[in-house]
Structure 1
Amino acid sequence: MSQHYACISFDFDAMSGLVARGLTTPTPVSRGEFGAIAIPRILDLLKRYEITASFFIPGVVIGTYPKECELILAAGHEIGHHGWTHVPPANLTPQEEEDGLVRGMETIRKLTGNVPRGYRSPSWDLSNSTVELLLRHGFLYESSMMGNDHEPYRVRQGDVVLVDEPMQFGKTTSLIELPISWTLDDFPHFEYLRVGQSLAPGLQNATGVLENWVNDFEYMSQTCDWGILTYTCHPYVIGRGHRMIMLEKLFEALQEKDAKFITLEQGARLYDQRSPFNA
């Protein structure tokens, strides 16, 4: 029997992603603050549709908004690792990355009573050390790469990437990838952002984004018997009124298409059962 899953995930960055880009003045900080306003709205919507979601939260945000994080936990949602800060691992030294990984793990353990099993890189930019660190610290899965759309896979380690030679693929590890895509992320569609000479225009019509998101699930349903599609939202982005309406319409459309909603950890475990790791 065919089965198609939808993972609804939220990166509760608050102001940390903006601060990591050097935007520390009052207005960008307040922009991130809206994430805390959006959390109760999102939790209420998830409850009404009986959806359990995955929230990836930087350690600094757990420290800044403990009450909101406790609400997420009390509602039964997964809390995954999203760095200590929102600085991309590719911009850190290996030691800085491991120190932040451990600090974030301990913060989540204090909040939930358990170490996180899933990791999502800030800005979806892993370093050459990330996979080794995740394996060393016992992570089951990660969700920052784009090598597939609705089929999880095992992460490689030790790729050699050269500009003027064919790529040399590294060895396959036990770490499970729950792939993502910028097309299924709310930020590039909706957020207007200026950093230096760079401009992200955003501000797209939510109806068109909804159509794309529903059609990606429809394509998965038409082309495979089993698959997991992961959607990524940010509370301070998706929490605005017209986008909350879009999110509710997404839930309705996916339910009409017989989607089964699961967390990313549940998705990783399902994949692990279907395709056990063979070293």
Structure 2
Amino acid sequence: MNRHYACITFDFDAMSGLVARGLTTPTPVSRGEFGAVALPRILDLLKRYDIKASFFIPGVVIGTYPRECEQILAYGHEIGHHGWTHVPPANLTPEQEEDGLIRGIEKIRELTGAAPRGYRSPSWDLSTYTVELLLRHGFLYESSMMGNDHEPYRVRQGDVVSVDEPMQFGKPTPLIELPISWTLDDFPHFEYLRVGQSLAPGLQNASGVLENWVNDFEYMRQTCDWGILTYTCHPYVIGRGHRMIMLDKLLKSLQEKGAQFITLEQAARMYDERSLFHA
């Protein structure tokens, strides 16, 4: 029997992603605050469809919004690691990265009673040390890379990347990758953002984004017997009125197409059973 899965995921960054970009004045901070306003409406929508989602939360956000994070947990959703701050690992020293990883693990353990099984890097930018650290600290999966669209795979370690020589691929590790894509992320489509001389225009019509997101699932359904498609949203982005209507339509459309909704941890365990790791 065909099995087509959809993972609805949220990066509850609040203001941490903006602060990490140096935007610390009142307006960008308030922009992040809207995530806490939007969260209850998102949780209510997921409950209406009986969907369990995966929420990735930086440690500083758990400290800033403990009640909201407790509410996510109370609704039965997965809570994954999203850094201590929202500074990308690629911008940290190995010592800073591991310190933040440990602090985030402990904050999630304090919230949930258990260490997180999944990791998603801030800004989807891993360092050359991240995989080693995730393996060292017992993570089952990570979800920050784009080497496939709806087929999980094992994360490699030891790639050699050179500007003027062929790529040398490292060896697969037990760590499972649940791939993502900027095309299935709400932020680049919707957020207007100025940082220095750069501009992210965003503000796209939600109907066009909805069509793309539904069609990616439809393509998976037409071309493979088994697959997992991961959508990434941010409460302060998707939580605006017209985008909430879009999210509602997305969940309804996927449901009508036979999507089975699972968390990323469930997806990783399912893949692990289908494709046993051989060292």
Give the alignment's TM-score, normalised by structure 1: 1.00
Deviation, 1:212, is 0.1
Distance across 2 between alignment mates of 1:5 and 1:162:
36
For 2:221, give the aligned amino acid: S
**Residue in 2 aligned with 1:239?**
239
Distance 1:225 1:9 in 2: 23
Aligned to 1:273: 273
Is the partner of 1:105 in helix, strand or coil? helix
Superposed CA deviations along residues 235-263 of structure 1, whole A, max 9, x for unmatched, are: 00000000000000000000000000000
Q: Which residue identity does 1:118 align to in structure 2?
A: G
* Equivalent residue number for residue 27 of structure 2: 27
d(CA) in 2 for partners of 1:39 and 1:3? Answer: 30
Distance 1:251 1:173 in 2: 33
Q: How far apart are the structure 1 equivalents of 2:156 and 2:228?
A: 20
**AA partner of residue 218 (structure 1):** E
Aligned residues: percent identity?
87
SS state at 1:163 partner: coil
Is 1:12 the counterpart of 2:36 in the alignment? no
Matched with 2:81 is 81
The residue identity in structure 2 corresponding to 1:156 is: R
Which letter does structure 2 place at the counterpart of 1:234? H
The CA distance in 2 between the partners of 1:103 and 1:252, in whole Å, is 38
| 1:163 and 2:179 correspond | no
Q: CA deviation at 1:80?
A: 0.1
How far 1:129 moved relative to its partner? 0.2
Aligned to 1:202: 202
What is the aligned length? Answer: 279
Q: Distance in 2 between matches of 1:245 and 1:217?
A: 19
Any runs of at least 4 consecutive aligned residues in structure 1 with deviations exceeding 4 A, and if so which? Answer: none
Shift of 1:127: 0.0
Question: How far apart, CA to CA, are the structure 2 residues paired with 1:258 and 1:172?
Answer: 32
User: Which residue of 2 is the match for residue 126 of structure 1?
Assistant: 126
Render the CA deviation track for 1:44-70: whole Å, top value 9, x for unaligned. 000000000000000000000000000
TM-score, normalising length: structure 2: 1.00
SS at match of 2:194: strand
Q: Distance in 2 between matches of 1:243 and 1:172?
A: 38
Q: Deviations over 1:101-143 (max 9, x none)?
A: 0000000000000000000000000000000000000000000
Shift of 1:25: 0.1
What residue identity is the alignment partner of 1:146?
M
Give the Cα separation in 1 of the matches to 2:255 and 2:221.
Answer: 13
Q: How does 1:59-78 map to 2 (within 5 A)?
A: 59-78=59-78
Deviations 1:123-169 (A, max 9, x none): 00000000000000000000000000000000000100000000000
Q: How does 1:126-205 map to 2 (within 5 A)?
A: 126-205=126-205
How far apart are the structure 2 equivalents of 1:168 and 1:278? Answer: 20
Q: Does 1:261 align with 2:253?
A: no
Three-state SS of the structure 1 residue aligned to 2:261 is strand
Unaligned runs of 5+ in 2: none
- 2:216 equivalent in structure 1: 216
| 3-state SS of paired residue (1:68) | helix
Mapped to 1, the partners of 2:260 and 2:50 lie a distance apart of 11
1:95 aligned residue: 95
1:39 is aligned to: 39
Secondary structure of 2:80's counterpart equals: strand
Give the AA of the match of 2:163: V
Q: Over the residues paired in the alignment, what is the CA RMSD in angstroms?
A: 0.2
Specify the code of the residue in structure 1 equivalent to 2:195: V
Q: Name the SS of the counterpart of 2:168 in structure 1.
A: coil
Q: Distance in 2 between matches of 1:183 and 1:251?
A: 17
